[in-house]
Structure 1
């Protein structure tokens, strides 16, 4: 009989009956409690947090279903599962916590969802070297809390930290809210252990750097499970900050604020948080976070680290801002942002639960000399069809990321057609303006159509690497434009 709730949904496809022989073979590897073919489990793993799949679910559609969910607890089990899947040409989709927003874990060809969350141990902390080795299924907030108890921080704080894993961060090339100081996930990784499609376990050396040919770990970081399954990682650590200073400024326009930011970081000052909200984003986002009486182009700054360094960074940044027209708002707005910095991500379901409403985020990036052009081009293209707000973050001496949020209602077409139009418009504008189509959310399924334009002839190189490492094409098929 149908399990409660499942039979009430109108699905675009029936639940295929899982192969009992495959089920038995998987149980022989991970045990009865390590495999599920239950309909509710298969339904739960049929999507991630990509808004496109949420629109499907809102309409009662579940186009893609896995046959099995498998929970390994050690690398050896991952190796055995992939060896088996490769021999039987079974698709395998590596799964962290399902918080991705690009459809990266959609089981487009059925098969196995390989959920790594039971591989959640910190293996070792090397205090002298300030590194940590951990299994990649560990949840982000749990990982950070355990490191804090030991006196360290990873410095990686994505908005999804409560519902994402170390492996997911590495696979999707993640960036956190404090990335201007601590770097992105690729800057933090020292070494990796991973399993290839044929079950081969590979491990890179734990060294700060080497000049011994290609850096193999960076072949896997950002490949979203298409080249291998990352199982363990050794990461750089930082001491817990001794001090933290909050500061906010209001600027008359975006270009003036960006010039202040550019001058600051190119001088060598790297605040932990640098976020510039344009007027629309200030009005909508900060109000949604409970901040009152804020308007204009709002710059949020947070400095943290050693006391003397933090004080000097704050002083120097204040000097660069004061050289341009702006209003010193003190610590209040930045402190409020800090206390509520994860809240906005959990407000999206309130909007997407309403019929006809569409909401998504589009994060692009470019160099300083092109940043205002990219901002203006994408906004101009999107504004006629959807409400568009933006903030600038993830600052580099060479450029920055622009994080567009779009909110609209499908008036004259279906939700899905309207959603596709938004993305087609945004990606065309970004590529026309010379930006990259993704700064830190990755590619997955949703942005795959634009990978050839992003990479040109290098997509052929990527396909050859894929064919060499995964000739049967079992690893996360249909993603990344492959």
Structure 2
């Protein structure tokens, strides 16, 4: 065992720093912090398995100085430290592989300042993303980072995982919005990185720490760039004959210098599934109105409750429908190759315009109106058919619903996950076909293209499958990721666009970064000489482990 265990003496020391009421060794609370939203662990939860790993103690600091004091105690005892924000990560980045101390930063949740002159804000890392944007909005500003997890993620989590929001094509990713950071290193030292718009004085330490997933230190505070709340939003839907023509259309828009807030192209199968909703239950329309509300109804954590509907005798009939749906879904997902082939065939037959695209622009009124006309014209010249604003408006109104829809699949005995990869325009179609084929051997798969750049784009694959039991589901899940990321690497794509690395993708880091991994390891040794900071993540070896 490369690390020391949590002892009662250590717990007393921690209580002396943050107060006894903000330290817990309760078994239930420790279990909660034993996982994040990584679907592989949700498979276990679906079958009633407790988290495989859990911290020895959970601490809730309220300041950077308290975080530093906790890390110093951990360093002296050589006890690992894992930072925890909203727990919304989907790659196992917050899993305490070696136990130790989990530091939950959600008590550090204040918007500290907003500067109108500089158009920047200072915010604590534990602030909830939705609260953060609402408070900025009341002041007339936005950071422009809107991940689908915005209701359950934190600003610090965005920075630690190098996140991207749904409007990133206009506003940039989180690394484009950050000016400076306050970070507690593995030495227990507090460092503040550059707080200037730009400086030519050596490496940019802020960017070295963004995306470090807690292995170099804990982000406690950030200075972020602001934009004015848009005066106007313009949305439109387009249809394209096929995926290839839609991709070409996005490239033309981006290389003309236009920056829509969002542009999303759905492949033929995703377009089909959106149109006919083959896994939709008869009672879903009513339920969707709740699930699409600004703040989703409270459920059972990762697996929200199935809504109950009652007949005149007081008997539930939704559970009966759920049972039928479960059997139908199980049969379908048990034959992924057949279902993928069937979906491809149907998609080609039922729609003359095979792929749906939505595009949205926002900002000042005059500029947005001009840019929207230019963008729509470019899309039409590329073969797109304008189908009006409703598809775009519908996406905007329901844009956070996908995170809550996925739980239905788990509830009915299957699992669902997403794989986000990226490449240049030249390689994008090859990447799409290679990864789709690799995943399709094991799961039903569809994809959309979003987060576009002048030189390339990301692809967001959604897949669903079902095993006979827990171990079979985990076997299939592992095979999907092994084959999917293997295909990605072979055609020159990147293994992650905005979900991060965590445990899930660590084994692929060396192949992608090659010699740069030695530099990352050397930087970790400098900032974290005892190797206590979130050990086992980002593909880095753990000192003393076999």
Q: What is the TM-score normalised by the length of structure 1?
A: 0.94
Task: Give the match for residue 55 of structure 1.
Answer: 43
| Match for residue 248 of structure 2 among 252, 259, 275 | 259
Within 5 Å, which residues of 2 pair with 1:379-390? 379-390=436-447
> Can you list the C-alpha shifts for 1:240-275, whole angstroms capped at 9, x where unaligned?
101110101010001111111111111111100111
For 1:81 and 1:405, the matched residues in 2 are separated by: 40
Determine whether 1:468 maps to 2:456: no
CA contact under 8 A between 2:55 and 2:100: conserved in structure 1? yes
CA contact under 8 A between 1:390 and 1:405: conserved in structure 2? yes
Determine whether 1:200 maps to 2:193: no
Task: Give the match for residue 37 of structure 1.
Answer: 25
CA contact under 8 A between 2:231 and 2:363: conserved in structure 1? yes
Quote how far apart the aligned CAs of 1:203 are.
Answer: 0.5
Runs of at least 4 residues off by over 6 Å: 288-291
Task: Give the match for residue 11 of structure 1.
Answer: none
Quote how far apart the aligned CAs of 1:223 are.
Answer: 0.5
| Match for residue 466 of structure 2 among 405, 409, 418 | 409
For 2:140 and 2:489, the matched residues in 1 are separated by: 43
Q: Secondary structure at the match of 1:161?
A: coil
For 1:359 and 1:303, the matched residues in 2 are separated by: 31
| Match for residue 427 of structure 1 among 478, 485, 496 | 485
> Can you list the C-alpha shifts for 1:42-65, whole angstroms capped at 9, x where unaligned?
011110000011112223142101
Task: Give the match for residue 334 of structure 1.
Answer: 392
For 1:56 and 1:28, the matched residues in 2 are separated by: 36
Structure with greater contact order relative to length (CA < 8 Å, sep ≥ 6): 2
CA contact under 8 A between 1:285 and 1:344: conserved in structure 2? no
Gaps in structure 1 of 5+ consecutive residues: 1-15
Quote how far apart the aligned CAs of 1:322 are.
Answer: 1.4
> Can you list the C-alpha shifts for 1:118-150, whole angstroms capped at 9, x where unaligned?
001111110011100011100000000000001
For 1:370 and 1:380, the matched residues in 2 are separated by: 16
Task: Give the match for residue 306 of structure 2.
Answer: none
The 1:385/1:221 distance shift into structure 2, 3 A limit, reads same
Deviates most, 212-221 or 279-288 = 279-288
Within 5 Å, which residues of 2 pair with 1:276-295? 276-285=265-274, 287=277
Quote how far apart the aligned CAs of 1:285 are.
Answer: 4.2
Deviates most, 59-68 or 472-481 = 59-68
> Can you list the C-alpha shifts for 1:12-47, whole angstroms capped at 9, x where unaligned?
xxxx99522111111000001211111110011110
For 1:275 and 1:395, the matched residues in 2 are separated by: 9
For 2:92 and 2:273, the matched residues in 1 are separated by: 27
Gaps in structure 2 of 5+ consecutive residues: 289-349, 541-546
For 1:81 and 1:175, the matched residues in 2 are separated by: 30
Task: Give the match for residue 364 of structure 1.
Answer: 421
Q: Secondary structure at the match of 2:533?
A: coil
Quote how far apart the aligned CAs of 1:307 are.
Answer: 0.5
Task: Give the match for residue 103 of structure 1.
Answer: 92
| Match for residue 394 of structure 1 among 440, 447, 451 | 451
Tell me the matched-pair count: 465
For 1:301 and 1:477, the matched residues in 2 are separated by: 41
Within 5 Å, which residues of 2 pair with 1:75-86? 75-86=64-75
For 1:134 and 1:41, the matched residues in 2 are separated by: 27
Determine whether 1:313 maps to 2:371: yes
Task: Give the match for residue 505 of structure 2.
Answer: 447
CA contact under 8 A between 1:358 and 1:407: conserved in structure 2? yes
Task: Give the match for residue 479 of structure 1.
Answer: 537
Deviates most, 117-126 or 316-325 = 316-325
Q: Secondary structure at the match of 1:231?
A: strand
CA contact under 8 A between 1:137 and 1:167: conserved in structure 2? yes
Within 5 Å, which residues of 2 pair with 1:176-255? 176-255=165-244
Q: What is the TM-score normalised by the length of structure 2?
A: 0.83
The 1:170/1:17 distance shift into structure 2, 3 A limit, reads closer
Quote how far apart the aligned CAs of 1:323 are.
Answer: 1.0
